[in-house]
Amino acid sequence: MRRTHATTLTLALIAGALTACGESRQEMLEREMEYAKAGRKDDKGVPIPEIPPDEMREALRPLLTQIYSNTERLPAVTEGDVEPMNGRNYVLQPGVLAVVTVKKGLTKADKARAIILGVAEADAWTFRKNARKEYALLVEKLKYSYGEETKTKVLDAYPELKLLSFFGSPEADKAIGELSGEAKSTAEAMRKEYTEGKQDIWKKWMGVKMYARRLVGQDEPFRSVLKKIAKDFGQEEVPPRPFKDSVDAPFKDWADAIEKDEKLLTMLTNYKELRDRVDFLGEAHTLWAIEGGPLVPERARGVAIDKKIGYGFFREDLGGGYNDLVFVFSKKLGGTELKRAFLHSFLFRQLLTDFQLLSTAGSDFAKRGLDGSIDIGTATVPDKYDPLYASCGGTAALETMLYSFNSEFPLLNGVPSKVKDSEAALKIAHKCIVDGAAGDIKIPAKNDEFDTEGPAPASRLAIFQMLARFENIKVNTAVLAGDQRTEEDDAIDEGEKLLKQLKAQADAKKE
């Protein structure tokens, strides 16, 4: 038997009980407590034998009652033939009637440690009046939004954080003072271990994806524990870094211009919703730093600079579809070329997670049958090529934006486009992708008489569709209505005038 947290069925039952028959959370707790007092029963109503009080649990009671938030009942403790994970020597059955099953054959010290950890983990599942959302629902959201691995990391982190917050409090001194024997020596050893190892515990917690941490950190049971750790140990989440503070000195004025121009900001980020733009300005999750400068974090030092675009990048997955990015720009760049690279990085950042772009291009990498049919299950751009599409597509988007909006946005003034139209930009980007993904992307044989689309048609279409966001198509309604003369009208009139002259001359010769 492996160490498990709540199973999907257990979570569903706990979450389902919250809304069943209109029952409130408080009423649910009271009902469950009545069950506990009356004796537990199985699905058929047959009483389940009560678990007798464990001797070591009772010896630890003064400490456990400080750790466990449910003052009505401590988790039951029993021994069993279990195979726990992570060396914690117990398996938890969470819930109102929580049971900590300790591995058989442990020494008294190891059993005491397992009980303390098990009760700390069980504390996450206790009822809390001030919780905005039931813990079981948070756990389910973790699983489906961030995956099983992240969910497990969060669940494993809670007992560690709980004990860190407890052992650093005055309550711990009082509780340990009431213990004796193996219970007391084990508790004292754990207090020393947790207070001296707080950096390692916090580092492990910070290893969980940021948005998963935020999901649980803003509600109970994590909120109170993290708040206490911040107060007692000074350990807290890295504060948000606003966009204006996320750029190196040479970019300050350009960043200010982008922040003040709503239309340009929207174009560079593709954040169509006001809330998304406000969130970005408040916390960009991106750094724009000059190579070798103080703004370059340790994790991004040594990033290779791509000479074609003028910068290199470091990417960290924060979960929930968010990335933490560090753009490191060549210290050799300046003036117009540095501005071009800066603008390009925005578009690179935008396209790196452009689902529509990448999904449209996916069929170029799909496996094909003998008849040329596509295996739709393999029609996906490999993750390793996401930066390639962001770089090649970003170049095409930048050049298109420059020739389309150069006169509209002051920031773009003085940065000339290197192409004359979007078709030229499209050709450059398409070739860039075909060359960069050579060997994996579909390239038809030169003598393929059935080929009518050319190399990587899906990628070409994906870039073509994406570029529409960066084209400035101005429609003159007066021209469409025929109320305003154009150069074309003048040319037509000149042609008609010339034809009339030629006809007149031909008629004169006949006469």
Radius of gyration, CA atoms only, the chain: 33
What lies within 8 Å, CB to CB, of 387 at 6+ separation is 313, 315, 348, 352
| C-beta separation of 345 from 305 below 8 A | no
In 3-state terms, the chain is what percent helix, strand and coil (to 5)?
60, 10, 35
pLDDT number for residue 489: 65
- Give the ranges where 308-456 is alpha helix by DSSP (H): 335-351, 355-361, 386-405, 422-436
How does DSSP classify residue 368? B
pLDDT number for residue 17: 43
What lies within 8 Å, CB to CB, of 94 at 6+ separation is 5, 6, 10, 121, 122, 124, 125
Of all residues in the chain, the percent with pLDDT exceeding 90 is: 62
How does DSSP classify residue 384? G
pLDDT number for residue 479: 40
Average pLDDT score, the chain: 85
Structure tokens at 499: 């034809």
pLDDT number for residue 185: 97
Among 150, 155, 140, 141, smallest CA distance to 9 is for 140
| C-beta separation of 289 from 341 below 8 A | no
- Burial code (b: 16+ CB inside 10 Å, e: under 16) for 130-161 equals ebeebbbebbbebbebbeeebbbbbbbbbbbb
Spans of the chain, pLDDT less than 70: 1-49, 320-321, 371-372, 447-452, 473-492, 495, 502-503, 509-511
pLDDT number for residue 119: 97
